[in-house]
Structure 1
Amino acid sequence: MKKLSIFRRLFILLFGLSISAQAEDLSYVRYGTENIDGLNIFYREAGDPSKQAVVLLHGFPTSSHMYRDFLSELGDEFYLIAPDYPGYGYSDKKSVKEYTYTFDNVAETMNQFFIRRGLNNYVIMIQGFGAPVGFQLATKHPEKVAGFIVMNGNIYGEGLVKETIEFLKEELTPENETKKMKTDFSLKTLKWQHTHSTRNPKAINPDA
């Protein structure tokens, strides 16, 4: 009986250590939401929060979905977190009367999101629309930004195409705004942005 008791104690101890080791493995991708001023902001994260944080700011016309492979591959080395902006992905989509959709405001929402998540020092990875959001964060809170990973993110006028600059200079009216929205946000245009210049369009994940 005494030997059985010792055996059982050792089994429980080893089993407990195994469970503990599994619980400490945070490299897998996890999902959640944070409520920021009445907005539910969806996010994906991977890695141990005690490691160097890298915030992944998505571009247009995407969401945090674009970073799914980064999260699954690098969660063992860094703490990665990828939120969806308001109006994108799984985050709340408020009307323009309820939320001001400007880069300044989105950047402030992201700042509040990172504060809620306990992030005070992070590297910013940016692409497309993520550039003006990320650079606004860095301008207003430089003490929090440890560095940048930039993928085709514009910070200068020359980086914008002529058509975009001309549209920005136009007086905004319901007519030209509606015309631009119908063109840029049509399903045909969104598919083109994902598949243009790709060697094998059939390899593009339709989940995007």
Structure 2
Amino acid sequence: MTMQRFVTSYLEDHDIRTISASRRDEVPGILARDQPDLVVLDLRLGQADGLDLLREIRAQSDIPVIITTGQRRDEIDRVVGLELGADDYITKPFGLRELLARIKAILRRRETATAFTQRSVENGRCRFGGWQIDRRLRRLTNPSGEPIALTKVEYALLIAFIESPQRPLSREYLLQATRVHEDVFDRSIDVQVLHLRRKLETDPSAPSMIRTERGVGYVFTPTVERIS
């Protein structure tokens, strides 16, 4: 409890309004009543299984979540937490400045993702290489007119490419646009690009639509035509 109060006081001193919970059963009420912008989740909250709580949060909301864990013995929990949808993690003991920096970074990404979503709604439909995307309906169709399902991250990634066609985009830019945690040396964005290539490319092993720009990131090569 002392550490919890210490963290809360530090964040509030830096203009981060904070609500704390010491028991798992307090969390759903806080999320519904106060609608926070971000959750810092101790995977050992009240001796409960924090991963189960993370599953519950993710089943109801896409609110950003930073998980806190111990060191080596919690490595598996850390990996599983990221797979379950945590946006970041920090290991104990951690510095309060680092925690604050991670919170601010995630909130910036949240704002960026919101801006991309807003632009996607406003910009309507566009066409590229025979494909068509209706941003108001979040609907992608291939050159044969068949709908292609995209995950939330794949959709955000495609929008990022469509907004800046034929320009090299860094991994950091794409991470911010898609709100993906840059864990394991930015490889998470490489995985998402691979998934998107499998849906867009005729031959994903020899991509022509999303080209790798060595030392930079990726380039979306088609010409994008606005049609409404």
Q: TM-score by structure 1 length?
A: 0.25
Using CA pairs under 8 Å that are at least 6 residues apart, name the structure with larger relative contact order, 1 or 2. 1
Q: TM-score by structure 2 length?
A: 0.23
Structure having the higher Rg: 1
